[in-house]
Homo-oligomer: A and B are copies of this chain.
Amino acid sequence: MNPPPAQPPSIDIQSLSRSCNQTLILSTLASGPHHGYQLALEIEGRSSGAFRFQHGTLYPILHKLESQGLIRGDWLEERSRRRRKSYRLTAAGRQYLKEQTAGWRDFFDRFFDVVEGRSR
């Protein structure tokens, strides 16, 4: 009999921070288009200040998500307003968000199994 195959980690520990940031952003975009600055405010508000995005963190992530085709940004042209870029989820982004969310659920289950000794 073969041993059960080892389960690959649902979320790569190496990229926990990146995945966390991406998932927070994508899930906020799931409720409708936002521009960058607005995303940071919304996430901060929704988490009662627990999750805060520095600008140097936020914009590179948005650029990367866009280059990966997970979100799409369009410049809004409004007079008497600083130009803003409105981001929205693509179909691929919506699918990716779904997978990431499931991955985080799985990660937490396994994590607390180990930490709280439920698997002993």
A6–B27 Cα distance when bound, in Å, is 21
Which positions 79-120 of chain A face chain B at CB distance < 8 Å? Answer: 101, 104, 106-108, 110-117, 119-120
Contact: A104 with B115, CB < 8 Å? yes
Q: Is A14 an interface residue (CB 8 A)?
A: yes
Contact: A117 with B9, CB < 8 Å? no
Interface range on chain A: under 10, 10 to 19, 20 to 34, or 35 or more? 35 or more
Copies in the complex: 2
Contact with A49, one of B8, B13, B27 (Cβ below 8 angstroms): B8
Contact: B108 with A7, CB < 8 Å? no
Closest to A43 in B: B114
Question: Known contacts being A13-B21, A21-B13, is A114 close to B7, with CB within 8 Å?
Answer: no
Q: Is A67 an interface residue (CB 8 A)?
A: no
Contact: B16 with A50, CB < 8 Å? no
Question: Known contacts being A31-B120, A104-B115, is A9 close to B110, with CB within 8 Å?
Answer: no
Query: Which residues of A are at the interface with B, using a C-beta cutoff of 8 A?
Result: 4-10, 13-17, 20-21, 23-24, 27-28, 30-31, 43-44, 46-52, 101, 104, 106-108, 110-117, 119-120
